Amino acid sequence: MKRTKKRFALLLSATLLLSLLTACSPNGSNGAAGTAPPSSAQPSAPAEAEGDAARIEGIRDGTYRFETPVTITTVTATDSSFKYKNGETLSDNVHTRWAKEQLGIDIQHLWEVPGEQFATKMRLMLTAKQELPDVVTTMDIGLMNELIQSGAYKDISADFDKYASDRMKEIFSSHPLIWSQVTFEGKHMGLPYFANAGNDNAVMWVRQDWLDELGMQAPATFEELEAFMQALLDKKPGNTDSIIPLGVSLGSGGGHPNPLAGWLGESTWIFGPFGTVPYQWNQGADGKLVHGSTVPEMKKGLEVMRDWYEKGYISKEAGLHDENKLAELIGQGRVGVVVAPYWLGSWPVPDLQKNVPGATMKPYPIPTENGKAGARDTTFLKGGMLVREGFEHTDALFLYLNRLFAGVDKEPGSEFEHGWAEDYDYTLKADGTVSTVSEDIPEGSVGVYKYFLYEPKDPFSVLQQSADKGKLLEQGNLTEAEAAALGNPDILKAAQIVVDGWAKESYWAPKFLGASTPAMQSKGGITTKLEGEAIMAIIYGRKPLEDFDKFVKEWYSIGGEQMTKEANEWFDSTK
């Protein structure tokens, strides 16, 4: 506090004493009792508000730094992909030092355990009423729900609105279901965690060399697809024996049958045009959730698959083919058409090209029926980050997140343009170029993102960037080196197909994204088994199509009714 140095020499002793007491008082004022004059040590309310606004803005744009370090505690589920260098640990590494030096944030790991032990240890902490970590990131939806329902973790809605950067808000508003896994009674009880969207979405891959030999165009409709598959059987292009016109992985799932929705060789696209996607919960016309395999629209898709099976378009051994076996058959050159992810061009198509000279597969949109196309949309929601109730520094947490999310786009000249840490996940070579090749990085590459409290990601960026590269490639005017640098042209084209499919609403997102409900846990096994057996029996012709109605009735009676009730209760809680 500023004090005047001027003293009066000639004052009565009582007056002098009073003056000294006043000078030492908190107000330090000659004014009336209880009144303080303006002072640089006590800013006015507008000045305080202005200072807080500047602090919030600094947090949002990631430039703020806490002068007195703020501690954020967490716990971590580890696996074999966690690697360290330079004698570092999870508690002391290039990332924790960056957070402390750049942001004034001290990240402390209370403990770390292998992933399979994580849920048990967290539940023990909760039961024993131990001090819980400030933040927890988990992909275990059941555990996440338990932590939320315990009341130990908080609604972050207001904190997100106040502190999240524009880029974060853009990402977290990019899909209508993006908050669904962490929303309870309208409250955002955590920050959703992402995988890459559309990773397994349906793209039709066709043997281009066989199309060319037969003088046919890529099929765009079910009718054209049937014509192509029949031509494969009749004309045997390439003098190929044992052609499988349509590769499907009806053996997917093993002991938990998933014959129509495997990650390679799926068949949901056969049902989508008729109004349903099996093996997921869809929203019906009445707004309620319904299991996609149990609605009347399934019949038409099953009729088509049985017809194709009888005509030989689908292998008689398809029920023994899981995704890996189907990939092997593709590599052997036996499959004419397969509906599979956009990345099929990286595996197993190269095996096909190696094993069968001149052979290749090219990507095309899934075919339509009556002008409609539809298939499942693989989910990108994988759990979330929870923030402890009573944690006082959500501002520090969002400062940390904002700074990391600024690196998602890797803009030229930005802090994370090349990677998260030099000589960890990238290096600058002697010639000035950047390399992410492990052999070029001193002591090898390390996944720095594994040390993060939360891995920042735009779930749609990988596919969108690949699609953008595909469009650039189509425009031409590139040198051979420039075109090669963009990547595999077939994968880029397939990415365009998925992005276009989103725009056309050809992919159906599952509407139930919560943890398994009690009925799903107790009855899910027998209902799934019944579902797989009924579907396979109808496709194989062992049971008539009319038996589908019997299957639906039995499915509801042995647990499906209660599962549907609980699925809708969860769905209603997210609104």
CATH of the domain at 296: 3.40.190.10
Say how far apart CA 256 and CA 443 lie, in whole Å: 43
Whether 191 and 208 map to the same domain: the answer is no
Q: Look up residue 406 and give its DSSP letter.
A: T
DSSP string covering 17-74, please?
Answer: HHHHHHHHSSS--SSSTT----BTTB--HHHHHHHHHHHHHHHHTT----SSPEEEEE
User: In terms of DSSP bridges, do strands 335-340 and 244-247 run parallel, antiparallel, or are they unpaired?
Assistant: parallel
How confident is the model at residue 185, as a pLDDT?
87
Token code pair at residue 344: 């099929």
Whether 220 and 140 map to the same domain: the answer is no
Q: What are phi and psi of 535, to 5 degrees?
A: -65, -45
Say if 486 falls within a structural domain: no
> Would you say 270 and 371 are in contact if contact means Cβ atoms under 8 Å apart?
no
Per DSSP, helices labelled H in 283-374 are 298-310, 323-331, 349-355
How confident is the model at residue 540, as a pLDDT?
97
Is the dihedral angle over the CA atoms 344, 348, 351, 353 positive or is it negative?
negative
Reference 172, options 499, 402, 437; nearest CA is 402
Say if 566 falls within a structural domain: yes
Q: What are phi and psi of 384, to 5 degrees?
A: -175, 175
Q: What is the dihedral of CA 479, 485, 488, 494, to 10 degrees?
A: -90
Per DSSP, helices labelled H in 385-503 are 394-405, 461-475, 480-486, 489-503
> Would you say 422 and 98 are in contact if contact means Cβ atoms under 8 Å apart?
no
Say if 156 falls within a structural domain: yes
Say how far apart CA 225 and CA 217 lie, in whole Å: 10
Whether 309 and 350 map to the same domain: the answer is yes
Whether 191 and 276 map to the same domain: the answer is no
Distances (CA, A) of 423 to 28, 400, 437, 452, 541: 57, 22, 11, 17, 60
Whether 364 and 394 map to the same domain: the answer is no
Whether 128 and 164 map to the same domain: the answer is yes
Coil, helix or strand at residue 386: strand
Say if 183 falls within a structural domain: yes
How confident is the model at residue 34, as a pLDDT?
35
The pTM score is 0.86
Which structural domain, as residue segments, surrounds residue 221? 203-376+509-573
Q: Which residues pair with 42 in a beta bridge?
A: 39
How confident is the model at residue 313, as a pLDDT?
98
Contacts 24+ apart (CB under 8 A), 444-449: 444/85, 446/83, 446/84, 446/85, 447/81, 447/82, 447/83, 448/93, 448/94, 448/95, 448/419, 448/420, 448/421, 448/424, 449/420, 449/425
> Would you say 355 and 331 are in contact if contact means Cβ atoms under 8 Å apart?
yes
Walking along the chain (575 residues) 10 residues at a time, the average pLDDT comes out as: 35 34 36 35 57 93 97 97 95 98 98 97 96 97 95 97 98 95 94 96 98 98 98 95 96 84 96 97 97 98 98 96 97 98 98 97 98 96 97 98 96 95 96 95 96 97 96 92 94 98 97 94 95 96 97 98 97 90
Whether 92 and 127 map to the same domain: the answer is yes
Placement of tokens 């990402």 in the chain: 171
Whether 270 and 167 map to the same domain: the answer is no
CA atoms within 13 A on the CB side of 360: 10
Tell the burial category of 546 from Cβ atoms under 10 Å away from its Cβ (0-12, 13-18, 19+). Answer: exposed
Say if 73 falls within a structural domain: yes
Reference 231, options 249, 219, 248; nearest CA is 219
How confident is the model at residue 241, as a pLDDT?
87
Whether 317 and 254 map to the same domain: the answer is yes
Residue 534 CB partners (closer than 8 Å, separation 6+): 543, 547, 548, 551
**Number of domains comprising the chain:** 2
Biggest CA-to-CA distance, the chain = 123
How confident is the model at residue 419, as a pLDDT?
96
Placement of tokens 């590494």 in the chain: 93
Whether 288 and 159 map to the same domain: the answer is no
Q: What are phi and psi of 369, to 5 degrees?
A: -135, 125
Whether 72 and 111 map to the same domain: the answer is yes
Whether 213 and 263 map to the same domain: the answer is yes
Say if 495 falls within a structural domain: no
Radius of gyration in angstroms for the set of CA atoms belonging to the chain, rounded to a whole number: 31
Say if 534 falls within a structural domain: yes
Q: What are phi and psi of 552, to 5 degrees?
A: -60, -45
Say if 269 falls within a structural domain: yes
Say how far apart CA 134 and CA 136 lie, in whole Å: 7
